[in-house]
């Protein structure tokens, strides 16, 4: 065995060629790699040797992609099957003003918004769409708060596969809707919220034999593990003390924990960072479960400005709980006002992100103020999406529609008269 589908609850396994997301016992499946065999084959040097050079027109995913560079830990597949932009290779930024604001010596930002379609979803989608093509799927589909649909639309277009995306009507950011339409996805605006769309897409995919590419799909999570591989590799295989991420449907939380578990098993890292998942207070079912010691799965009617994580019934709950157990992790929550101020700070230093991503930065600041994170600890926050995804939220924050904005940058109305413009600029400077 190099890899197979396996149920984490009852241990039953299935071949990778079977179209299946859930075990007969009801649990979601994992892709399980033969870590013992891999340990004999791969070392840090295996990955160190695969460095991307100057981009060429012929994508060589096994070198150029920040996902497929780690292919032994992702999916055994022949290179000609791979559908890749390429993705990954995202920067790890730091900025002293931002570190000061959150209260740590050095905050590192893994900017997943600098992926081809502007979010971390591309890492999962290159693997999911590759698998769809290998299985001979006739079409692919997902429910989405926007980024998954944008990414699926792009990768399906690249592969020449029809894509059908289910989005909550009126509840996704303009940039994301524009991407789904532009890349040619059949776009169904569901009269309901994300949780309704998620239930609907599962039903339709089962009924119609369409390949489902939400994070319920275990291959998506395999690709998203590469965020962690790149962070740790980028730090010369030294784990940071904390990795902090926004949490909605919990796919990333599930993927990150699995990646860390595998790195430890393979002895590619000596110790694990702690994972901290951050939710918006109006969309906090995972936080509520955490506060109850995960004795009960909670559902809420979700509402938050960060539409990407406006999710009340997260699909990857069990696997996310497992991630936190593996990494001595925790869950925290931040208000919409804290999210938007953190976003304004990330934007103002010239880096920029969408609202959900800023929840991670707001979460770091909150955990520092509560003494959970010490100022001398090394913290990586994952910025999951690009600033340009949600122009509506950004503009409303800066133009006074957002009552609690502390860092608003109001545009000024001026006439076309040079003397007036000069006066205004002199006043500014």
Which positions lie near ligand F0G, rule CB under 6 A? 119, 121, 144-148, 215, 246-253, 308-309, 354, 356-357, 384-385
- Least distance in Å: CB of 346 to ligand F0G? 13
- Least distance in Å: CB of 286 to ligand F0G? 8
Give the strands of the sheet with 163-168, arranged side by side: 186-190, 163-168, 140-143, 211-212
Q: Alpha-carbon distance 340 to 417, whole Å?
A: 35
Encoded tokens for 227: 């965020």
Q: Alpha-carbon distance 149 to 354, whole Å?
A: 16
Tell me if the bond preceding 41 is cis, omega within 30° of 0. Answer: no
Nearer to ligand F0G, 17 or 301 (CB): 301
Nearer to ligand F0G, 205 or 268 (CB): 205
Contacts of 183 (CB under 8 A, 6+ apart): 150, 153, 154, 156, 157, 163
- Least distance in Å: CB of 269 to ligand F0G? 22
Q: Alpha-carbon distance 383 to 360, whole Å?
A: 7
Encoded tokens for 206: 């089962």
Is residue 122 within 8 Å of residue 144, measured between CB atoms?
A: no
Which secondary-structure segment (H or E) carries 355?
Answer: helix 355-369
- Least distance in Å: CB of 312 to ligand F0G? 12
Nearer to ligand F0G, 261 or 286 (CB): 286
Nearer to ligand F0G, 52 or 91 (CB): 91
Nearer to ligand F0G, 227 or 272 (CB): 227
- Least distance in Å: CB of 179 to ligand F0G? 11
- Least distance in Å: CB of 136 to ligand F0G? 25
Nearer to ligand F0G, 59 or 157 (CB): 157
Q: How far is CA 265 from the centre of its chain?
A: 24
């Amino acid at each position: 065995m190099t890899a197979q589908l396996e149920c984490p609850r009852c241990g039953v396994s299935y071949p990778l060629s079977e179209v299946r997301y859930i075990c007969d016992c009801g649990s979601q499946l994992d892709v399980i790699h033969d870590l013992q065999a891999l340990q004999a084959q791969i070392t840090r040097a295996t990955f160190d040797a695969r460095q991307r050079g100057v981009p060429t027109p012929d994508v060589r995913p096994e070198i150029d992609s920040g996902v497929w560079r780690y292919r032994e830990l992702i999916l055994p597949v022949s290179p000609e099957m791979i559908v890749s932009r390429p993705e990954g290779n995202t920067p790890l930024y730091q900025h002293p003003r931002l570190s000061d604001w959150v209260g740590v010596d050095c905050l590192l930002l893994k900017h997943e918004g600098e992926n081809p379609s502007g979010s971390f979803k591309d890492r999962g989608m290159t693997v999911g769409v590759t698998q769809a093509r290998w299985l001979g799927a006739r079409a692919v589909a997902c429910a989405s708060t926007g980024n998954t649909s944008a990414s699926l639309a792009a990768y399906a277009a690249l592969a020449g596969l029809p894509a059908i995306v289910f989005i909550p009507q009126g509840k996704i950011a303009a940039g994301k809707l524009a991407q789904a339409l532009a890349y040619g996805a059949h776009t169904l605006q569901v009269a309901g919220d994300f949780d309704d769309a998620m239930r609907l897409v599962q039903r339709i995919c089962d009924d119609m034999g369409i390949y489902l590419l939400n994070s319920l799909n275990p291959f998506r999570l395999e690709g998203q593990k590469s965020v962690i591989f790149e962070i740790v590799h980028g730090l010369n295989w030294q784990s940071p003390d904390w990795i902090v991420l926004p949490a909605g449907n919990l796919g990333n939380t599930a993927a990150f924990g699995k990646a860390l578990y595998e790195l430890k098993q393979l002895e590619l890292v000596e110790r694990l960072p702690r994972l901290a998942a951050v939710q918006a207070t109006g969309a906090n079912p995972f936080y509520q479960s955490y506060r109850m010691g995960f004795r009960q799965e909670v559902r809420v009617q979700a509402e938050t400005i960060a539409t990407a994580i406006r999710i009340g019934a997260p699909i990857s709950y069990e696997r996310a709980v497992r991630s936190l157990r593996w990494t001595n992790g925790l869950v925290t929550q931040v208000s919409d006002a804290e999210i938007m101020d953190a976003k304004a700070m990330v934007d103002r230093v010239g880096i920029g992100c969408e609202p959900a991503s800023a929840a991670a930065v707001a979460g770091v600041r909150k955990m520092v103020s509560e003494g959970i994170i010490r100022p001398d600890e090394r913290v990586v926050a994952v910025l999951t999406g690009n600033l340009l995804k949600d122009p509506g939220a950004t503009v409303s924050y800066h133009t006074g529609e957002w009552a609690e904005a502390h860092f608003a940058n109001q545009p000024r109305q001026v006439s076309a008269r040079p003397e007036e413009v000069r006066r205004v600029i002199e006043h500014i400077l």
